[in-house]
Structure 1
Amino acid sequence: MNIICDKTLLSAAIDGVSKAVTLRSTIPVLEGILLKAEGFQLTLTGYDLEMGIVTTIEANVKEPGEIVLNAKLLSSMISRMPAGQITIQSADNGKTTIQSGVAQFEIQSMAATDFPELPNTGAEETLTIPTGVLRDMIDRTLYAVSQDEKKPAHTGELFEIEPDKLTIVALDGYRLAIVERPVTAVKDIRIIVPSKTMTEVAHLLPNDDEELVHICANRRYVVFMAAGYTIMSRLIEGEFLNYHNVIPSGSRTRVTLDTKEFIETIERASLIITERLKNPLRISFTNGKVVVRCQTNLGRVVDEFRAECEGEEVEIGFNNRYLLDALRNARTEQVKMEISGPLSPVKVLPAEGNDFLYLVLPVRFKND
């Protein structure tokens, strides 16, 4: 293989596909990137046997071929090369020369035949959605994905694809995040996508409402195609919780408040909460105001702000981080909170519309 390509394009492509490369493996080729040169382009592939990322850049291909190079080493070398054109040339003995200007490296490549072949997923196109919309949906739900490997289905995000809408759901037993957007889909399907895949999809998608991402899915695989990248992933098997059953159907207290003001109040109260001192916030919704209290060995805080409160007065305990996550991801000037009781899950909704619903589980006070 002998090619010449632009350093900026190559560096970006390496960074993109490296997200699917295994960091440490007893199989060295899984720590590498497959480089395949043919025609007028160079195709780069990273694959960890669960997720694969493929992209293509323009290249002057003097001699076609394919090799595998260690991803970490290749990334470090290319990033430190001078700007301009980079030459990559491999010999029959596996020695590969990487050169830009007078800077030159010689490293050992691995055989492309040892690189695992990406599966033929057989996934058919299911829906098309603007990249910025999908990225926003992922960003606003990933925080609620479970880290508990004992419940593998909840370590991913549920995609509910219906003819007229896409719903993404994440939950971890303490909070629930649901975001939905109108779409035109080819078929109905429910799939669970690993959180790692969703993280990389959000990372690679441009925040652009003009560019589209094509999503293909079946019962085993999902494929995202956008911005010059193809991201293939195995799906998580198992049964996702019927989340509809945990959403309270009514409310005894309804509060409409300023999101930024609530966030700032909680952040001030959180100054006396540490990893060791995890006392809950005591939040009272009463008489046109919200009162936030907390006490730990570091001290005591009381703060309040005005809000529209309807229904019964109530005091609830909250984990400060869980409540902050919901409020920060609301991304609206005002939110509405619907409360069924001091120990029932609290709904966080937009003040207008229904494009998201967050649930936060209250914390029981020790003296209750």
Structure 2
Amino acid sequence: MNIVCDKTLLSAAIDGVSKAVTLRSSIPALEGILLKAEGFQLTLTGYDLEMGITTTIEANVREPGEIVLSAKLLGDMVRRLPGGEVTICTNEAGNATVKGGVAEFDILAMSASDYPDLPNPGADRTFTISAGMLRDMIDKTLYAVSQDDKKPAHTGELFAIEEDKLTVVALDGYRLAIVERPIQAEKHIRIIIPAKTLTEVNKLLGEDDQEVAISANRRFVVFETGRYVILSRLIEGEFLNYANVIPEGYKTRVVLESRDFIDTIERASLIITERLKNPLRILFDNKVTVRCQTNLGKVVDEFEAKIEGEQVEIGFNNRYLLDALRNSKCEKVVLEMSGPLSPVKILPEEGADFIYLVLPVRFKND
């Protein structure tokens, strides 16, 4: 193989596909990037047996071929080369030369035959969505994905695809995030996509108005976004019937400024640590009063809000509330409550941009 390509394009491509490269594997080739040169282009692939990322850049292919190079080493080398063109060529001894300007590296290459084939997903085009809309849906829900492997299905997000809408749901047993948007889909299907896949897809999405094509079946999902194709295995298992846990009606309704609530919670959180995790006591009466007490001290804070219905005092995990408020990205939110031990619904003041639920914390002396 002997190719010449632009350093900036190559460095960006290496960074992109490296998101699917495993740092340590029993298969050494998986710690590398597969480079395949043919025609007028260079295709790069990263794969960790669960997710694969492929991209193609323009290249002057003097001699076609394919090799595997260490992802970390190649990325570090190319990043530090002077600007302009980079040459990569291999010799019969199995070494590769990476050259830019007067800088030249000779490194060990691995055979492309040692690199596992990406699976053929066999997935049909399911729907297209703008990068901006998909990014917004992921941003608004990913925070609520479970970190607990005891329920594998909840370590990913549910994509409930219908002919006229997409519903994305994340939950971890203590909070729930739901976002729904209109789309035009080819079929109905419910799939659970790993959180890691969605995190990397989010990083690789292009401009907001760029179209993202999504193909899915029962085992795989494929995202085609601009220069990248991301293939991922799906999570098997039953996702909670989330519709059954959304409370109907309320006894107390509060409209408040998100910034006021965030600032108040952040101040109260100064006396909460990993070791001292007492909940916040929040009273919704004529105003919102936030209290907390740990061995570090005691805090009382309050702010004005529009409150309708019954007075109620509820205990909250400070981080769960902050995550919901920050990810809502709303100036004002609505809290609907049915009592001190019922899930609290958080909504935008206007529209139906999202539905968040946060479970309250029972006070020890209750």
- Give the TM interval when normalised to the shorter protein: over 0.9
Match of 1:58 in 2: 58
Q: Aligned partners of 1:255 and 1:301: how far apart in 2?
A: 22
Could you state the TM-score of these two structures normalised by the residue count of structure 2? 0.99
**SS in structure 1 opposite 2:214?**
strand
Aligned AA for 1:270?
A: S
Residue 345 of structure 1, CA deviation = 0.7
Distance in structure 2 (CA, Å) of the matches to 1:266 and 1:163: 41
Shift of 1:260: 0.9
Equivalence for 2:122:
122
Alignment-mate amino acid for residue 273 of structure 2: T
Structure 2: which 5+ residue stretches go unaligned? none
Counterpart for residue 200 of structure 2: 200
Whether 2:226 is the aligned partner of 1:227: answer yes
SS in 1 for 2:159: strand
Q: Deviations over 1:314-349 (max 9, x none)?
A: 000000000000000111111001101101110000
CA offset digits 1:184-216 (Å, max 9, x no partner): 11111100000110000001112x331110000
CA distance in 1 between partners of 2:127 and 2:285 (Å):
45
After superposition, give the CA deviation of every residue in 1:20-64 in whole Å (9 maximum; x if it has no partner). 111101210010100000111100000111100000011010000
Per the alignment, residue 330 of structure 1 pairs with 328
Pairing of 1:99-114 with structure 2 (within 5 A) = 99-114=99-114
The answer for unaligned runs of 5 or more in structure 1 is none
Query: Structure 2 CA distance, aligned partners of 1:180 and 1:108?
Result: 49
SS at 2:239 equivalent: coil
How large is the Cα RMSD of the aligned pairs?
A: 0.8
| Partner SS for 1:141 | helix
Q: Which whole-Å deviations, capped at 9, do the CAs of 1:89-146 have from their partners, x for residues lacking one?
A: 0112211000011111001111111111111111011111110110111111111111
Match of 1:352 in 2: 350
Deviation for aligned residue 1:281? 0.5
Structure-2 residue corresponding to 1:277: 276
Aligned counterparts of 2:353 and 2:189: Cα–Cα separation in 1: 20
Q: Pairwise mapping of residues 22-171 of structure 1 onto structure 2 (< 5 A)?
A: 22-171=22-171
AA in 1 matched with 2:51: M
Superimposed CA distance per residue, residues 238-275 of structure 1 (whole angstroms, 9 cap, x where no aligned partner): 00000111111121111111111111111111111111
Aligned pair count reads 366
Distance in 1 of aligned mates of 2:254 and 2:185: 36
Q: Find the aligned partners of 1:94 and 1:230 in 2 and give their Cα distance.
A: 29
| 1:252 partner amino acid | K
How far, CA to CA, are the matches of 2:15 and 2:136 in structure 1?
22
Aligned partner letter, 2:300: V
User: Could you tell me how far apart the structure 2 residues matched to 1:214 and 1:48 are?
Assistant: 22
Residue of structure 1 equivalent to 2:2 = 2
The 1-side partners of 2:197 and 2:222 are apart by 10
Q: Aligned equivalents of 1:114 and 1:28: distance in 2?
A: 9
Q: List aligned pairs for 1:157-306, cutoff 5 A.
A: 157-206=157-206, 208-287=207-286, 289-306=287-304
SS at match of 1:5: strand
1:19 Cα deviation from its structure 2 partner: 0.7
**Letter of the structure 2 residue corresponding to residue 53 of structure 1:** I
Q: How far apart, in 1, do the equivalents of 2:169 and 2:19 lie? A: 23
Q: 2:316 matched to which residue of 1?
A: 318
Paired amino acid for 2:4: I
Letter of the 1:135 partner, please give it: R
Which amino acid letter does the alignment assign opposite residue 251 of structure 1?
Y
Q: Which runs of 4+ in 1 moved over 2 A?
A: none
CA–CA separation in structure 2 for the residues paired with 1:202 and 1:35: 24
What TM-score, normalized to structure 1? 0.98
